[in-house]
Structures are given as structure tokens and as C-alpha cells.
Amino acid sequence: MKLSDRVRAVIDYFWIFVGSALIALALDWFLIPNKIAAGGVSGIATIIHYLFGLPVGAVMIALNVPLFLMGFKELGLKFGVRSLYGMLVLSLLVDFLAPYLKALTKDPFLACLYGGVLSGIGLGIVFKFKGSTGGTDLAAAILRRFTKTNVGMALLFIDGLVVFVSGIVFNPEQALYALITIVVTSLLIDLVQEGMGYARAFFIISDKNDLISEKIITELDRGGTCLKGEGIYSRKEKDVLLAVVNRSEVSRLKEIVYQIDPKAFVIVTNVHEVLGEGFKPMVKEGN
């Protein structure tokens, strides 16, 4: 590993720590004290905490361990070290900070709003620096491997199920507050990731598009399209690689292109709806 790569890795790990710390603060300051289980492993852990008195962070680790073991087995190391690091930092900080932090508000609306803002900023930072906190993202990816279910739909199903259970364990109002948190978190993730669209389209012009295409397939499990173009000045034929990725993959794809061809010309644009393999299924209007 080159020195510059090591420095970049240290910076990435630092910001993954910062992002995970912000999520931990959101849980300890706002969500857990107000019984808001806003989906994901943290939501499940919050429900278990109030049912059995177990520490939220410890439960998160216990739930994530089998997911990571399955992830390494079924998906390889691409979910690897950064995701494990983010998960451990978040889980340990939640329990470490809990005795020292008091709820900043008992108003459930303020709690769901600010908890969502803080969680969204934290997750956005983690995604931006090519990290993850495990949880439902990993569960959805594993589910997709076995069932070919769309990742977005799998995430929606898992988070929806957690919110539904929270409405039974706590009360229906808590479930409604949890839904607000999920929406706010999603919006803030998008803002941190540079834009409001839930997906991004990359137009990549490079002499090394074959290598870039291979990395997109093997590391991101995404496809793409090679378009034929022509340089206006040179009049030479150019291949234009079109790839669409979700918000958590934006930074990873930028890194792939940079590592292969730092001189590549790249256009990144917001995509407000994507239909087809890997995203939402195509359906007839009105259904």
C-alpha cells in the first residue's frame, strides 16, 4: 500500500468513526430514551432493551455477528473490514456513552426529528467514506443473494417490520414517530452524499473503461452500459461507460475510477427513479 493510500485509509477510518459517533449520540440522546425504534438493527436492539433490559450496543453486536459471518461467506470480503469497524465503533459507543448522556428531550416529536437528523448525517458520513455499520444493509444484500429480491425493497420490508413490531411492543404512536425518523434520516443521508436523488448516474470517459467495468461488476455487484461517443475536437471514437449506483456506493465508485485512471472524465448526476435489475421493479402504471 502506497503512503498516500495509507493516509487516505486513515482519513476514511477517522470519518467512519465520526459518523458512527454521531449515530450513537442520536440513539443515546433521542431515540432510545423515547422508545423510538426506527428500523434496522438499532431498532431491534431498542425493542429488546425495553423487553429484557439488555444493553442496546451489546444486542447490536450479537445481532450483527451472524450477519457478518454470513456476509463474509456469501458476499466475500467486499463488505469487509470497514463495515466491521463501523459496526463495532457504533455498538461500543452506544453502551459506553449511555451512562454519561441524558435524554435531551422527552418530547417524542423533537426526539424523532433530531434523532433522524443526527443519524442521517452520521450515516451519510459513513457511506461517504466507503464504510457501513452493518445491520439491515448487510441483511438486505444477503437476502438479495438468495432470493434476488431488490435491495431497496428488502430494506423497506425489514425496516417496516421493525417499526410494526415497535408499534405492538410500545404503542402505535411510537411506530409513527419511528417512521418520521426513517424519512428524515434518509433525506439527510442524501444531503450529505451530495444531492437529493436516491441513486446516482455515472458517465465515465476513460481509456481504461474495461478495467473500470470489471471492478464495477466484481466490487459493487452492479452492471453498466458502454455507449459509443466521439470527441468533438479529436474526432476520435470514445467509449462512455454509464453506471447507476445507490447512495452508499457513490464514494466507492469514485475511488475505483480514481485508482484505475486518475485522468478519467467523470460526470455524476442525480437520478430520481431507477427501474430494473438491482433497483425498483418495472410495473404497469396504475397498479
* Assigned domain for 227 exists: yes
Residue 111 to residue 170: CA distance in whole angstroms: 16
Residue 18 to residue 122: CA distance in whole angstroms: 7
Q: What percent of the chain has pLDDT over 90?
A: 36
When mean pLDDT is compared across 34-38, 106-110, 189-193, 259-263, the lowest value belongs to 189-193
CA 98, 181, 34, 45 torsion: positive or negative?
negative
When mean pLDDT is compared across 86-100, 104-118, 192-206, the lowest value belongs to 192-206
CATH number for the domain spanning 242: value is 3.30.70.120
When mean pLDDT is compared across 61-75, 110-124, 236-250, 253-267, the lowest value belongs to 61-75
Residue 42 to residue 57: CA distance in whole angstroms: 8
Q: Are residues 122 and 227 in the same domain?
A: no
Per residue in 136-149, pLDDT (tens digit) is 766 666 666 666 55
- pLDDT reported for residue 108: 93
Looking at the structure of the chain, the number of domains it has is: 2
Whether residue 285 has pLDDT greater than 50: no
Q: Are residues 189 and 204 in the same domain?
A: no
* Assigned domain for 282 exists: no
Per residue in 13-22, pLDDT (tens digit) is 999 999 999 9
Q: Are residues 160 and 222 in the same domain?
A: no
**Cβ–Cβ contacts within 10 Å for residue 225, how many?**
10
Residue 3 to residue 97: CA distance in whole angstroms: 34
Q: Are residues 70 and 164 in the same domain?
A: yes
**What is 11-41 written as a DSSP string?**
HHHHHHHHHHHHHHHHIIIIITTTT---SHH
Residue 204 to residue 222: CA distance in whole angstroms: 15
When mean pLDDT is compared across 17-31, 52-66, 198-212, the lowest value belongs to 198-212
When mean pLDDT is compared across 30-44, 80-94, 130-144, the lowest value belongs to 130-144
Q: Are residues 169 and 34 in the same domain?
A: yes
* Assigned domain for 157 exists: yes
Q: Are residues 141 and 242 in the same domain?
A: no
C-beta separation of 210 from 163 below 8 A: no
**What is the grid cell recorded at 39?**
428500523
* Assigned domain for 276 exists: no
